[in-house]
């Protein structure tokens, strides 16, 4: 199998992910809209060749500077107020894969083995190259703002890239730009959460690992009690109940007490069907 080791192929895909563009053809089609061109100060539509050329020559530091200046302007103009929950602005971290190939790679590609079936029906293991990024963004009902993103380097874990990203966000945006960090279950690890606190932020994490003591303890302490809160959410619409358990041990590595909230949502009551139910378990630092 011939493989090209160039940054060119991967690089284009990565910018597509960072800019949230599915293809340059698609973006080029949008530039035919007059309002789009007016916003960008363009006299004529762009071609996908122009977009590809520009992103080939984009400088990562410049791109980060633009992201930061946009987000800071939004905050100064109070545009992020609608993204706050209970008066707190949350930064959410998530890892996404933007590119994978079995034929093309660059020096920064991660690798994994995958099993494929060839034309004769024989199974074989091949190397697949891919790029993953941790993305930090502020989410709201009307606005999602990407603050920054960081590649997961070959051989390193998601947590290492996430901490590098958080450290840079603190330097570029300041500790008070957001109030707390929310992460998915993958980050529910004591050392990671301690580092987030040292950076000056509270945290909220989804718990999915039933083998964690804090998960079982929160269930045990709340299961025979009435919910602490119950209300109807007219916007979605669904009914919400939640149970809260304070002062729980999270893990020996974390070494501090946490608060656990166990919400349960129900919606939709169709004939001969039970309403749908969704349950979560969240832990937070405060």
Percentages (nearest 5) of helix, strand, coil residues in the chain: 35, 35, 35
Looking at 25-33, 103-111, 201-209, 273-281, which segment touches Zn ion (CB under 5 A)? 103-111
Which residues are registered as beta bridge partners of 85? 88
CB of 104 vs Zn ion, minimal distance in Å:
8
List the one residue from 83, 93, 106, 161 that touches Zn ion (CB under 5 A).
106
C-alpha–C-alpha distance, residues 73 and 88, integer Å: 18
Nearer to Zn ion, 101 or 239 (CB): 101
C-alpha–C-alpha distance, residues 193 and 201, integer Å: 10
CB of 154 vs Zn ion, minimal distance in Å:
9
Residue 109 lies near Zn ion (rule: CB under 5 A): yes
Looking at 5-13, 16-24, 175-183, 193-201, which segment touches Zn ion (CB under 5 A)? 5-13
Residue 14 lies near Zn ion (rule: CB under 5 A): no
Among residues 285, 278, 281, 265, the alpha carbon closest in space to that of 220 is found at 281
CB of 255 vs Zn ion, minimal distance in Å:
39
Looking at 9-17, 38-46, 53-61, 242-250, which segment touches Zn ion (CB under 5 A)? 9-17
CB of 16 vs Zn ion, minimal distance in Å:
13
Residue 152 lies near Zn ion (rule: CB under 5 A): no
Residue 110 lies near Zn ion (rule: CB under 5 A): no
Question: To 10 degrees, what angle do helices 158-173 and 190-198 make?
Answer: 10
- HSE of 251 in the Cβ direction (CA atoms, 13 Å)? 17
- Cβ atoms 192, 159 nearer than 8 A: yes
Nearer to Zn ion, 106 or 134 (CB): 106
Token pair for residue 48? 């996908």
CB of 109 vs Zn ion, minimal distance in Å:
3
Nearer to Zn ion, 10 or 135 (CB): 10
C-alpha–C-alpha distance, residues 81 and 175, integer Å: 17
- Cβ atoms 132, 110 nearer than 8 A: yes
- Strand 229-233, strand 238-249: pairing: antiparallel
C-alpha–C-alpha distance, residues 11 and 106, integer Å: 9
CB of 17 vs Zn ion, minimal distance in Å:
12
Nearer to Zn ion, 95 or 109 (CB): 109
CB of 106 vs Zn ion, minimal distance in Å:
3
Residues of the shown chain interacting with Zn ion in the complex, contacts defined by CB under 5 A: 10, 106, 109
């Amino acid at each position: 199998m011939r493989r090209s080791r160039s940054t060119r192929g991967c690089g284009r895909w990565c910018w597509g992910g960072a800019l949230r563009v599915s293809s340059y053809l698609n973006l080029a089609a949008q530039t035919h809209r007059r309002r789009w061109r007016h916003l960008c100060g363009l006299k004529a539509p762009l071609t996908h060749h122009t977009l590809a050329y520009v992103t080939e020559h984009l400088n990562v530091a410049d791109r980060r500077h633009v992201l930061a200046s946009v987000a800071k302007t939004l905050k100064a103009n109070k545009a992020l107020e609608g993204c706050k929950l209970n008066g707190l602005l949350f930064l959410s971290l998530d890892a996404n894969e933007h590119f994978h190939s079995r034929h093309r790679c660059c020096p920064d590609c991660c690798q994994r083995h995958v099993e494929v079936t060839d034309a004769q029906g024989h199974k074989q293991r091949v190397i697949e190259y891919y790029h993953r990024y941790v993305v930090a963004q502020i989410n709201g009902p009307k606005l999602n703002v990407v603050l920054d993103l960081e590649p997961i380097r070959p051989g390193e874990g998601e947590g290492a890239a996430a901490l590098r990203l958080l450290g840079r966000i603190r330097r570029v945006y300041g500790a008070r730009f957001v109030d707390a960090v929310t992460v998915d279950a993958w980050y529910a690890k004591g050392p990671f959460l301690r580092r987030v606190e040292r950076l000056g932020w509270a945290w909220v994490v989804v718990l999915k690992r039933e083998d964690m003591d804090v998960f079982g303890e929160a269930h045990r302490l709340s299961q025979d009690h009435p919910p602490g809160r119950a209300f109807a959410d007219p916007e979605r619409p669904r009914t919400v109940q939640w149970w809260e358990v304070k002062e729980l041990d999270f893990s020996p590595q974390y070494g501090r007490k946490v608060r656990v909230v166990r919400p349960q949502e129900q919606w939709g009551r169709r004939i001969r069907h039970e309403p749908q139910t969704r349950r979560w378990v969240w832990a937070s630092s405060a």
